[in-house]
């Protein structure tokens, strides 16, 4: 059983998609052992609780500086002894020490087709605003391994989604989630849990 720790910042619809995929048998050989949020009010924590999954908030607001927060966050991850860390809408820059420690065992979902609309400043709704501003006709989502850069690690899966003429950022965000994110994130976890992909 792959021990999965999911890190979240907000609504947690991707977390929900992972939990649903486990229930439906679309992800096998994996269990979520802990959900961690940097945001105490994240609805994602309630989603975890309602499934009986341990949900913990580690907020930067409770620490004097970034170094102390990083230390507490890493400790919270370590305690779960995860085989895989999934960033499912986690909008905090990971401590470099954590990336080194868990090299090849952290994955992220990004709401665009990397290398477009990614990197510093591209997160959440901002990605979809930029997509509409540029006028591209196809966008999508990407699951990738996390390395020291921002959205630069090896790509695992991508799925394209059409941009429609009357899209607002919110409408487009919802379509990208439904058609791409909630599909490829569970798929990638299942592939890792069943050793179909991994980093040596
Ligand atoms: C998702 O769209 C995810 O791709 C994005 O945040 C949203 C979280 O939604 N992540 C990023 O932008 C990371 N760069 P959720 O909390 O409902 O899963």
Pocket perturbation via mutation, ligand 1, pick of 87, 88, 183 by most ligand atoms within 8 A of CB: 88
- Please, which pLDDT band fits residue 199 given cuts at 50, 70 and 90? confident
CA of 90 to the centre of ligand 1 (A): 7
The token pair at 120 is: 């510093």
Residue 17, ligand 1, Cβ within 6 A: no
Q: How far is the CA of 79 from the centre of ligand 1 (A)?
A: 25
- Provide the token pair at 169: 């950022």
pTM: 0.97
Model confidence band, residue 11 (pLDDT cutoffs 50, 70, 90): very high
pLDDT classification of 200: cutoffs 50, 70, 90? confident
Instruction: Determine the atom of ligand 1 nearest the C-alpha atom of 177.
Output: 2
Closest CA relative to residue 58, chosen from 77, 43, 32:
77
Nearest CA to ligand 1 atom 17: 13
- List domains and CATH numbers for the chain: 2-193 (3.40.50.170)
pLDDT digits (tens, 9 = 90+) for 19-43: 999 999 999 999 999 999 999 999 9
Residue 14 CB less than 6 A away from ligand 1: yes
pLDDT one-digit tens code per residue, 56-70: 999 999 999 999 999
In sequence order, what are the beta bridge partners of 14?
Answer: none
pLDDT computed for residue 36 by the predictor: 98
Catalytic choice (68, 110, 128, 144)? 110
Question: CA nearest 184: which of 157, 162, 161?
Answer: 157
Contacts of 188 (CB under 8 A, 6+ apart): 107, 143, 156, 157, 197
DSSP 8-state class, residue 13? H
Q: Three-state SS across 114-173?
A: CCCCCCCCCCCHHHHHHHHHHCCCEEEEEEEECCCCCCCCCEEEEEEEECCCCCCHHHHH
If you ran DSSP here, which 8-state letter would residue 39 be given? Answer: -
Distance 109 CA to ligand 1 centre (A): 7
What's the mean per-residue pLDDT of the chain? 97
What separation in Å is there between the alpha carbon of 9 and the centre of ligand 1? 8
The verdict on whether 110 is a catalytic residue reads yes
pLDDT, tens only, 104-161 = 999 999 999 999 999 999 999 999 999 999 999 999 999 999 999 999 999 999 999 9
């Amino acid at each position: 059983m792959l021990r999965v720790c999911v890190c979240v910042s907000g609504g947690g619809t991707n977390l929900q998609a992972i939990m649903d995929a486990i229930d439906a048998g679309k992800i096998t050989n994996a269990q979520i052992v802990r959900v961690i949020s940097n945001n105490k009010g994240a609805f994602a924590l309630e989603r975890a609780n309602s499934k009986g999954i341990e949900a913990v908030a580690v907020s930067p607001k409770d620490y004097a500086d970034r170094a102390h927060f990083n230390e507490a966050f890493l400790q919270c991850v370590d305690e779960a002894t995860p085989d895989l860390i999934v960033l499912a809408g986690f909008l905090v820059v990971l401590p470099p020490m954590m990336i080194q420690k868990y090299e090849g065992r952290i994955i992220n979902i990004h709401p665009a087709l990397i290398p477009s609309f990614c990197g510093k400043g591209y997160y959440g709704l901002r990605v979809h605003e930029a997509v509409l501003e540029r006028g591209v006709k196809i966008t999508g989502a990407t699951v990738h391994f996390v390395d020291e850069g921002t959205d630069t690690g090896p790509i695992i899966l991508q799925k394209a989604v059409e941009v429609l003429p009357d899209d607002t950022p919110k409408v487009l965000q919802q379509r990208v989630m439904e058609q791409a994110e909630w599909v490829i994130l569970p798929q990638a976890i299942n592939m890792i849990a069943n050793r179909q992909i991994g980093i040596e």
